[in-house]
Amino acid sequence: MLVVDPWHWLTEDGHFIADNPRLYRRMLRIARFIEYGGELDQREMRETLMECARRPKGKACPGLMWVVKTQKDEILAHCMICRNEEVLIHNWQKTEWAGGMMKPVPVSPDEGVLN
């Protein structure tokens, strides 16, 4: 299991380090786990829409990841199909993803997406 403090992989102001693609992809996965699990109460869990990354016997696991908020206020991400615990995240509370999904914002006519 990977134990992560996201601040070890972020810049001082909380942004991704963009010049390392592998680290960027890994931190993006961690940020998604935080976004899904941050607003949970301790000892609550939810299924995410993130695929399990494990490949038992060379085949992709068909499971989706679940996040659990532990009694220690950590976020544990795991797959209920292959029963693999992928990551335990601590010190996530001050990241920009801790409050869950971004609140909706109105589309500006200048955006051009509605034309």
12 CA to centre of own chain? 19
Q: Is the pLDDT of residue 114 over 70?
A: no
For residue 107, the 8-state DSSP code is P
For residue 108, the 8-state DSSP code is P
- 74 pLDDT tier (thresholds 50, 70, 90): very high
- The answer to whether 93 and 12 are in contact (CB under 8 A) is no
pLDDT in the model for residue 105? 86
Distance CA 34, CA 108 (A): 29
pLDDT in the model for residue 41? 97
Q: Is the pLDDT of residue 109 over 70?
A: yes
Distance CA 98, CA 100 (A): 6
- 84 pLDDT tier (thresholds 50, 70, 90): confident
pLDDT in the model for residue 58? 87
Q: Does pTM surpass 0.85?
A: yes
